[in-house]
């Protein structure tokens, strides 16, 4: 097979084998090779080329090695310290922090104490025996004091070293440089450098994999190796990654001769040679691998590097020079963004740990480092694009807010547009397609919102509905241990808000009557799972409501309560639901869903019903003619894949039963949620993600679920206004006595009268409609009562606490 034939449509699910790669060594025309590599990169990385904003901390420039091309390391110099002091380290890190850096890159010579007495003496004065132990202390200091995430390049490590350094670093790295032992021979660049022996470096990388350390590595080209040796080096890295999955990037670095080194007169590799190597690396690895080339080592050729298949520029510092290549300054970020855009790509900031590994922090990040990481990332492992949080009175971030409804129609990239067309036609989207929509940014984000808005207009017109309802949470005592819940008052939340309560049936009846008098057509009832509650309690609640106001719609009991109620009475779920229905239950809230994916539930709410059980309760309820809502609570430890699966599971059940009335995204309110306070979750979705959840739900559930609701308690009026332009046609309830969101710290849950609700809807250019629970019109009598009660309240009557949909 010729090289051209091999490269034409090289399958994404295959990688070059050694024989195929060797066949490319003498390829005369680079174009097909570069095109195949770029196409493969695009399939996995789209239009992004990433970089990490870093500050470079050269802890020591003494090294026991003597690599012939290196100017970073030097022997001890008179009057110069061997190590940066604590104050110096911190000063550099703080300067980086001020310049917006998120990575502290510790680069240092290899174990200089084994070669130089001054290194041993300084370490002793610093209270350490080894460079690595001083490094651990400095990395710990930097992230604690500045929040910068340390990335460590300390050379060869053993198991004990990894155990010490993993808890103080977000990622680590070592360049393989080459697998060729030949280059350690006399007269060769690695002669006399024990740390450059390939087997030793491979051993370090293998241990990194065993310790689950996200790792960067790569090759250095132009130091005397052959192309065949480059291929073997890349294959060695591939084998390591196949075994452990820890290699998050492959750097293809080009040697540059430096004055004052033994290799000062050796020619640098040509640009074509560099491009060839990048392209071959891209084809040797799966498309998702991150392939990097340092931008400062190829000035004037950045677009060609992108054309050869890289998707990353590595760390770029706005503060410190590249101490390894001091003669080659980093380009300004504006210049890098321009060059990247010139190559048709979008320069995008990442963290030192790549999104691929940050998304799976439980596996790849030490527990100690997860807290700073969670505060910095979105659900896809990228740096958060804003500091907006649901439930707080933050104004939506201007940049993303402006994208929700841009003045001119946005054009999506080809692949996104194809998914949008499919969704608008009512075809079923798969997991990868839904995830792709959640990844939309910039123009693509605008296009997704616009497509959802257009679909909403087609399905619902300009009407925005709402319901007058009262939430009654009968107890906040609960024996479940949901990690996100500040509402329950089990041991987990003892010190959080308020005293435990468990209201009696008289109080239930009183609140129901009061709600009716104030114009509520519905009471929404749910609560903690009190250890003394059995299914009989839920039946009693139904009777109490019916006894108080027979006409009011009883919307009550999450699938968890139904499941627990059935179990405590020893009844099948369907039979218990039938009894509740006979006692007056009319519909169910679709709460306790959180994320319908057990991968998340086992960490978020391990003792709660699982995904299948939630779906089974809903299936049984729908089978009895009891309709329900469906919710998703997102933005904590979940990923886009989990969101996609949740949407698909809800959609598939809806196709089967048709029982869901609406879909309600509930952004995670973190402020007083135990999981966040313990440093084990993100602080909710970003604004872009919160808006996208509504838009993508509109598209992915089309045409099966036609009502998409926004929670004003979690989003605030401004957030709701943007969601109304992204697929939303319902704003849920007005008159509530809701304590669940407020327990988690939400501050919007004060009051929303029907008048205010309608003003909000009209100000968004839409038409308000007061509905009942099942989306019929509420009727004139209800409307009159609701508006009159609200007016009376404005005139001084007691105010009911108003919250939001749980
Ligand atoms: S979410 Fe519900 S079940 Fe879980 S702890 Fe809170 S009140 Fe209990």
DSSP per-residue codes, 453-501: HHHHHHHHTTEEEEE-EEEE--B-------TT-SS--SGGGTTSSS---
pTM strictly above 0.85: yes
With a 6 Å cutoff on the Cβ, whether 686 touches ligand 1 is no
Nearest Cα residue to atom 3 of ligand 1: 480
Interval 356-380 mean pLDDT: 96
Ligand 1 atom showing the smallest separation from residue 605 Cα: 4
Nearest Cα residue to atom 4 of ligand 1: 482
Q: What is the pLDDT of residue 327?
A: 66
Determine the distance separating the centroid of ligand 1 and the alpha carbon of 525, expressed in angstroms.
Answer: 14
Interval 377-389 mean pLDDT: 95
Q: What is the pLDDT of residue 790?
A: 75
Two structure tokens written together for 256: 């540059």
Interval 518-527 mean pLDDT: 93
Does the structure show a pLDDT above 70 at 775? yes
Ligand 1 atom showing the smallest separation from residue 608 Cα: 3
pLDDT tens track for 102-137: 999 998 888 888 889 998 999 999 999 999 999 999
Does the structure show a pLDDT above 50 at 161? yes
Of these ranges, 54-63, 178-187, 750-759, the one predicted with the greatest mean pLDDT is 54-63
Which of 388, 387, 447, 368 has its CA nearest to residue 415? 447
Alpha-carbon distance values, 601 to 573, 596, 610, 642 (Å): 21, 7, 7, 10
Sign, CA torsion 104/108/111/117: negative
With a 6 Å cutoff on the Cβ, whether 529 touches ligand 1 is yes
Ligand 1 atom showing the smallest separation from residue 476 Cα: 7
Nearest Cα residue to atom 2 of ligand 1: 528
Q: Which of 473, 486, 488, 742 to mutate to test the pocket of ligand 1 (most atoms within 8 A of CB)?
A: 488
Q: What is the pLDDT of residue 60?
A: 92
H/E stretch holding 508:
helix 505-517
Ligand 1 atom showing the smallest separation from residue 485 Cα: 6
What distance in Å separates the CA atoms of residue 678 and residue 674, rounded to the nearest whole number?
6
What backbone torsions phi and psi does residue 297 show, to the nearest 5 degrees? -95, 0
Ligand 1 atom showing the smallest separation from residue 490 Cα: 5
Q: What is the pLDDT of residue 409?
A: 84
Does the structure show a pLDDT above 90 at 333? no
Q: What is the pLDDT of residue 381?
A: 97
With a 6 Å cutoff on the Cβ, whether 740 touches ligand 1 is no
| Long-range pairs of 514-518 with CB within 8 A, sequence gap ≥ 24 | 514/470, 514/800, 515/469, 515/470, 515/472, 515/549, 515/552, 515/735, 516/548, 516/549, 516/551, 516/552, 517/785, 517/789, 518/468, 518/470, 518/735, 518/785, 518/786, 518/789, 518/790, 518/800
With a 6 Å cutoff on the Cβ, whether 223 touches ligand 1 is no
Determine the distance separating the centroid of ligand 1 and the alpha carbon of 163, expressed in angstroms.
Answer: 37
What distance in Å separates the CA atoms of residue 303 and residue 339, rounded to the nearest whole number?
6
Cα distance from N-terminal residue to C-terminal residue, the chain:
62
Q: What is the pLDDT of residue 794?
A: 57
765 torsion bin: left (phi>0), alpha (psi -120 to 50), beta (else): left
With a 6 Å cutoff on the Cβ, whether 528 touches ligand 1 is yes
Of the pLDDT bands very low, low, confident and very high (cuts 50, 70, 90), residue 802 is very low
Determine the distance separating the centroid of ligand 1 and the alpha carbon of 590, expressed in angstroms.
Answer: 14
Q: Which of 478, 563, 594, 666 to mutate to test the pocket of ligand 1 (most atoms within 8 A of CB)?
A: 478
Interval 415-443 mean pLDDT: 96
Does the structure show a pLDDT above 70 at 751? no
Of the pLDDT bands very low, low, confident and very high (cuts 50, 70, 90), residue 803 is very low
Determine the distance separating the centroid of ligand 1 and the alpha carbon of 608, expressed in angstroms.
Answer: 8
Residue 65: CB partners within 8 Å, gap ≥ 6? 73, 109, 110, 192, 193, 194, 195, 196
Determine the distance separating the centroid of ligand 1 and the alpha carbon of 527, expressed in angstroms.
Answer: 8
* CB 165 within 8 Å of CB 132: yes
Q: Which of 476, 482, 559, 589 to mutate to test the pocket of ligand 1 (most atoms within 8 A of CB)?
A: 482
Ligand 1 atom showing the smallest separation from residue 493 Cα: 5
What distance in Å separates the CA atoms of residue 612 and residue 30, rounded to the nearest whole number?
53
* Half-sphere CA count of 76, side-chain side, radius 13 A: 15
Does the structure show a pLDDT above 80 at 71? no
Q: Which of 560, 614, 617, 742 to mutate to test the pocket of ligand 1 (most atoms within 8 A of CB)?
A: 560
**% residues pLDDT > 90 (the chain):** 76
Q: Which of 473, 487, 525 to mutate to test the pocket of ligand 1 (most atoms within 8 A of CB)?
A: 487
pLDDT tens track for 677-706: 999 999 999 999 999 999 999 999 999 999
CA angle 306, 308, 313 (to 5 degrees): 40
CB atoms within 10 A of CB 72: 18
Q: What is the pLDDT of residue 325?
A: 66
Q: What is the pLDDT of residue 268?
A: 85
With a 6 Å cutoff on the Cβ, whether 487 touches ligand 1 is yes
With a 6 Å cutoff on the Cβ, whether 482 touches ligand 1 is yes
With a 6 Å cutoff on the Cβ, whether 474 touches ligand 1 is no
H/E stretch holding 705:
none
Of the pLDDT bands very low, low, confident and very high (cuts 50, 70, 90), residue 64 is confident
Comparing 725 with 801, the larger pLDDT belongs to: 725
Q: What is the pLDDT of residue 284?
A: 98
Interval 751-777 mean pLDDT: 94
With a 6 Å cutoff on the Cβ, whether 585 touches ligand 1 is no
Interval 28-43 mean pLDDT: 96
Ligand 1 atom showing the smallest separation from residue 558 Cα: 2
Ligand 1 atom showing the smallest separation from residue 528 Cα: 7
Interval 477-490 mean pLDDT: 80
What distance in Å separates the CA atoms of residue 689 and residue 707, rounded to the nearest whole number?
19
Q: What is the pLDDT of residue 798?
A: 35
With a 6 Å cutoff on the Cβ, whether 478 touches ligand 1 is yes
**Coil, strand or helix at 150:** strand
Determine the distance separating the centroid of ligand 1 and the alpha carbon of 526, expressed in angstroms.
Answer: 10
Of the pLDDT bands very low, low, confident and very high (cuts 50, 70, 90), residue 546 is very high
Two structure tokens written together for 297: 């080592």
Of the pLDDT bands very low, low, confident and very high (cuts 50, 70, 90), residue 355 is very high
The DSSP secondary-structure symbol of 383 reads B
Which of 209, 231, 248 has its CA nearest to residue 50? 248
Averaged pLDDT score across all residues of the chain: 91
Determine the distance separating the centroid of ligand 1 and the alpha carbon of 192, expressed in angstroms.
Answer: 63
Cis upstream peptide for 646 (omega within 30°): no
Q: What is the pLDDT of residue 257?
A: 81
pLDDT tens track for 623-670: 999 999 999 999 999 999 999 999 999 999 999 999 999 999 999 999
With a 6 Å cutoff on the Cβ, whether 560 touches ligand 1 is yes
Residue listed under structure tokens 């809903």: 618
Determine the distance separating the centroid of ligand 1 and the alpha carbon of 584, expressed in angstroms.
Answer: 24
Q: What is the pLDDT of residue 151?
A: 98
Of the pLDDT bands very low, low, confident and very high (cuts 50, 70, 90), residue 738 is very low
**Coil, strand or helix at 586:** strand
Does the structure show a pLDDT above 50 at 797? no
Determine the distance separating the centroid of ligand 1 and the alpha carbon of 408, expressed in angstroms.
Answer: 45
Alpha-carbon distance values, 627 to 313, 589, 777 (Å): 52, 9, 17
Comparing 265 with 354, the larger pLDDT belongs to: 354
* Half-sphere CA count of 562, side-chain side, radius 13 A: 34
Nearest Cα residue to atom 7 of ligand 1: 528
Interval 772-789 mean pLDDT: 93
What distance in Å separates the CA atoms of residue 628 and residue 797, rounded to the nearest whole number?
34
Q: Produce one character per residue of 750-763: b if its CB has 16 or more CB atoms within 10 Å, e if not.
A: ebbbbebbbebbee
Does the structure show a pLDDT above 70 at 736? no
What distance in Å separates the CA atoms of residue 210 and residue 206, rounded to the nearest whole number?
6
Q: Quick one: CA torsion of 221, 222, 225, 228, rounded to 10 degrees?
A: 60
Ligand 1 atom showing the smallest separation from residue 529 Cα: 8
Q: What is the pLDDT of residue 703?
A: 98
pLDDT tens track for 709-724: 999 989 999 999 999 9
Q: What is the pLDDT of residue 672?
A: 84
SS3 string of 277-333? HHHHHHHHCCCCCEEECCHHHCCCCHHHHHHCCCCEEEEECCCCCCCCCCCCCCCCH
Does the structure show a pLDDT above 70 at 290? yes
Two structure tokens written together for 574: 């369907």
Q: Quick one: CA torsion of 11, 17, 21, 23, rounded to 10 degrees?
A: -100
Q: Which of 528, 558, 675, 741 to mutate to test the pocket of ligand 1 (most atoms within 8 A of CB)?
A: 528
**% residues pLDDT > 70 (the chain):** 93
Alpha-carbon distance values, 241 to 10, 245, 247, 287, 313 (Å): 21, 5, 6, 14, 21
Two structure tokens written together for 101: 């850096």
């Amino acid at each position: 097979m010729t090289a051209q034939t091999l490269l034409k449509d090289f399958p994404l699910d295959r990688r070059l084998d050694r024989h195929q790669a060797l066949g490319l060594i003498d390829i005369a025309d680079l174009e097909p090779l570069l095109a195949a590599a770029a196409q493969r990169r695009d399939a996995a990385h789209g239009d992004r080329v990433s970089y990490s904003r870093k500050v470079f901390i050269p802890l020591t420039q003494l090294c026991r090695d003597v690599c012939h091309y290196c100017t970073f390391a030097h022997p001890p110099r008179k009057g110069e310290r061997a190590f940066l002091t604590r104050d110096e380290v911190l000063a550099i890190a703080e300067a980086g922090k001020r310049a917006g850096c998120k990575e502290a890159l510790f680069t240092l010579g290899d174990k200089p104490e084994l070669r130089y007495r001054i290194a041993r003496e300084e370490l002793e004065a610093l209270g350490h025996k080894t460079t690595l132990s001083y490094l651990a202390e400095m990395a710990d200091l930097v992230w604690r004091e500045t929040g910068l995430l340390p990335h460590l390049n300390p050379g060869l490590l053993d198991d004990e070293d990894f155990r010490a350094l993993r808890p103080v670093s977000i990622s680590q790295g070592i360049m393989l440089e080459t697998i060729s032992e030949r280059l350690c021979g006399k007269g060769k660049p690695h002669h006399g450098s024990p740390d450059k022996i390939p087997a030793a470096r491979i051993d370090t990388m293998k241990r990194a994999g065993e310790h689950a350390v996200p790792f960067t590595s790569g090759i250095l080209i132009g130091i005397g190796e052959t192309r065949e040796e480059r291929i073997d080096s890349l294959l060695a890295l591939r084998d390591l990654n196949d075994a452990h999955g820890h290699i998050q990037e492959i750097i293809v670095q080009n040697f540059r001769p430096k004055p004052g080194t033994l290799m000062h007169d050796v020619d640098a590799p040509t640009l074509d040679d560099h491009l060839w190597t990048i392209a071959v690396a891209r084809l040797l690895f799966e498309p998702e691998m991150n392939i990097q080339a340092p931008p400062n080592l190829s000035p004037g050729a950045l677009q060609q590097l992108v054309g050869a298949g890289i998707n990353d520029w590595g760390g770029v510092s706005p503060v410190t020079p590249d101490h390894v290549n001091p003669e080659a300054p980093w380009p300004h970020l504006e210049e890098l963004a321009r060059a990247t855009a010139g190559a048709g790509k979008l320069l995008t900031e990442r963290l030192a740990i790549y999104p691929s590994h940050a998304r799976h922090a439980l596996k790849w990040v030490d527990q100690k480092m997860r807290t700073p990481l969670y505060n910095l990332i979105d659900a896809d492992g990228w740096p958060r694009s804003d500091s907006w949080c649901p439930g707080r009175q933050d104004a939506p971030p201007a940049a993303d807010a402006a994208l929700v409804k841009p003045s001119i129609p946005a054009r999506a990239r080809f692949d996104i547009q194809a998914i949008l067309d499919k969704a608008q036609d009512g075809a079923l989207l798969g997991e990868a397609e839904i995830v792709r929509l959640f990844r939309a940014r910039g123009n693509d984000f605008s296009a997704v919102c616009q497509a959802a808005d257009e679909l909403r207009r087609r399905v619902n017109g300009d009407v925005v509905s709402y319901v007058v309802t009262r939430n009654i949470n009968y107890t906040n005592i609960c024996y479940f241990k949901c990690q996100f819940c500040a509402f329950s008052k089990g041991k987990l939340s003892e010190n959080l808000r308020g005293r435990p309560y468990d209201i009696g049936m008289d109080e239930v009846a009183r609140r129901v009557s009061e709600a009716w008098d104030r114009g509520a057509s519905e009471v929404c009832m749910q609560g903690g799972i009190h250890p003394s509650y059995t299914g009989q309690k839920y039946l009693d609640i139904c009777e109490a409501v019916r006894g108080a106001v027979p006409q009011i719609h009883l919307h009550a009991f999450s699938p968890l309560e139904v499941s627990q109620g059935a179990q405590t009475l020893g009844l099948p779920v369907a039979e218990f639901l039938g009894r509740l229905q006979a006692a007056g239950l009319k519909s169910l809230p679709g709460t306790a869903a959180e994320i319908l994916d057990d991968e998340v539930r086992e960490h978020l709410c391990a003792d709660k019903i699982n995904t299948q059980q939630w779906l089974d309760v809903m299936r049984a309820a729908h089978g009895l003619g009891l309709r329900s809502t469906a919710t998703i609570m997102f933005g904590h430890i979940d990923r886009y894949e989990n969101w996609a699966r949740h949407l698909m599971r809800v959609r598939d059940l809806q196709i089967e039963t048709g029982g869901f009335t609406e879909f309600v995204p509930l952004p995670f309110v973190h402020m007083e949620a135990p999981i966040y306070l313990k440093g084990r979750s993100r602080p909710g979705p970003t604004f872009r993600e919160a808006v996208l959840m509504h838009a993508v739900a509109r598209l992915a559930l089309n045409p099966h679920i036609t009502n998409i609701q926004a929670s004003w308690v979690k989003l605030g009026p401004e957030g709701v206004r943007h969601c109304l332009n992204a697929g939303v046609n319902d704003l849920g309830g007005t008159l509530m006595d809701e304590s669940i969101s407020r327990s988690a710290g939400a501050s919007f849950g004060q009051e929303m009268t029907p008048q205010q609700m309608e003003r909000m809807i009209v100000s968004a250019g839409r038409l308000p409609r007061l509905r009942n629970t099942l989306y019929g019109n509420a009727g004139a009598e209800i409307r009159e009562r609701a508006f009159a009660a609200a007016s009376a309240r404005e005139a001084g009557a007691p105010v009911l606490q108003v919250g939001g949909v749980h």
